[in-house]
Structure 1
Amino acid sequence: MPFFLATGRLTLRPFSEADVDHLFALDSDPEVMRFINGGRPTTREAVEAESLPRFLRHYPCIDDRGCWAAEERTTGEFLGWFEFRPLDDHSAAVVELGYRLGRAAWGHGYATEGSIALIRKGFTEFRVQRVTANTMTVNARSRRVMEKAGLSYVRTFFEEWPETIEGSESGDVEYALTRADWARAVD
């Protein structure tokens, strides 16, 4: 299958209808879903009707999809997914970085490696001007990935969510990186 991006240890490839089982398994792990919905598994029906169509969506401004399946490069093992989604369908100026990896992939640097590669591709090939990322304030692991990928803390914010989950009283955080700041850091 053709890939969108390859790093030393990862391949990011377009999702297909055949990925339903991978996504269902990923979103069935309570620890993976802890900071998403408090650990409640996603139903297979929701994966098929909501998640997969979002992952299959095409963004004309980057002439590609905004989400890719992440596989271990040598084994082809499904690890999770990465998102680098334009916030405006018609402009790649601002994109949102996101990732969700299975527990077996945690602590190996995959999230940082994939994020850095997507940021580089965005700034060098897609004319991205700003990368943003959000997580719950209490999600220290995800915040650390954002920092290691070069993003800086912007703000803490509070939104009304459909349900309260542990840690939501601390709000969410936004991190960001501009093209100019990235270029200075690379030089």
Structure 2
Amino acid sequence: MTPSALETDRLTLRGWSHDEAPRLLDMLGRKDVTQWLGDGEPWIMADLEEAHRTIDRYAERSATPPIGIWAVEVRDTGQVAGSVMLLPLPRSEAGEVEIAWHLHPDSWGRGYATEAALALLEYGFRSGLSEVLAVTHVGNDASARVCGRLGMRDEGVVRKWYDVDMQLYRITGQEWARRSAR
């Protein structure tokens, strides 16, 4: 299932399409991107066939809104900058949902991750989520700054959902409502 499209001033968040498999491969075939994903050795996407399978998996994981994986398209250029997602954390006992993002290096430093994540938080809370977490690799300063701009609280280092130390950030629906009311 394709996730619902969301719009921001500069971005359209929508499902990935198979004609974008080369862009996904170019992004996830880079260690500077994948070093921050998962909890083991960086996984490097190998070929277009794997990119197509990943796009299919993204669609499957988007079958139950507000859970999903969105392509982040820059409206002015039509280029996909990366992905943003709301997903259950692995080995989650209480159904905790995380927000995450990964962008192509040619899209870093433009505020796209923050803009896309803000839209996704709004969508998630409007859809009934009571809280959203972010877990980042310790030392991923760029993602830590995005979490701060999102209004997420730093709750320290945990080793709960992944087999490595991760920095935990949290925002509740009530905190989001207060932040949005300003």
What whole-Å deviation, never above 9, does each CA across 1:100-130 have from its counterpart, x for those lacking one? 1011111111100111111112112x11111
Residue 180 of structure 1 aligns with an amino acid whose one-letter code is: Q
Aligned length: 172
What whole-Å deviation, never above 9, does each CA across 1:42-89 have from its counterpart, x for those lacking one? 21244334x323311155542x6600111111110111111122559x
> Structure 1's 34 and 18: CA in aligned 2 closer, same or farther, altered over 3 A?
same
> Structure 1's 60 and 102: CA in aligned 2 closer, same or farther, altered over 3 A?
closer
The equivalent of 1:75 in structure 2 is: 77
> 1-side partners of 2:67 and 2:166: how far apart?
26
Aligned positions of 1:27-42 closer than 5 A = 27-36=28-37, 41-42=44-45
Q: Normalization by structure 2: what TM-score?
A: 0.82
- Runs of 4+ in structure 1 deviating by more than 6 angstroms, as ranges, are none
The equivalent of 1:158 in structure 2 is: 159
1:123 alignment partner, one of 125, 128, 132: 125
**Structure number with higher strand proportion:** 1
1:28, distance to aligned residue in structure 2 (A)? 1.4
The equivalent of 1:176 in structure 2 is: 170
Residue 178 of structure 1 aligns with an amino acid whose one-letter code is: T
Q: Is 1:103 aligned to residue 105 of structure 2?
A: yes
Q: Normalization by structure 1: what TM-score?
A: 0.80
Give % identity.
Answer: 29
> 2-side partners of 1:76 and 1:105: how far apart?
13
Residue 48 of structure 1 aligns with an amino acid whose one-letter code is: H
The equivalent of 1:47 in structure 2 is: 51
The equivalent of 2:139 in structure 1 is: 138
8 Å CA contact 1:57–1:65 kept in 2: the answer is: no
Unaligned 5+ segments in structure 1 are: 162-167
1:139, distance to aligned residue in structure 2 (A)? 0.3
8 Å CA contact 1:94–1:129 kept in 2: the answer is: no
The equivalent of 1:186 in structure 2 is: 180
> Structure 1's 59 and 30: CA in aligned 2 closer, same or farther, altered over 3 A?
closer
> 1-side partners of 2:107 and 2:45: how far apart?
20
What whole-Å deviation, never above 9, does each CA across 1:129-168 have from its counterpart, x for those lacking one? 111111101101001101101111123123674xxxxxx6
> 2-side partners of 1:141 and 1:60: how far apart?
30
> 2-side partners of 1:146 and 1:105: how far apart?
18
> Structure 1's 87 and 77: CA in aligned 2 closer, same or farther, altered over 3 A?
same
Root-mean-square deviation over aligned CA pairs: 2.7
1:57 alignment partner, one of 60, 76, 86: 60
> 2-side partners of 1:120 and 1:32: how far apart?
26
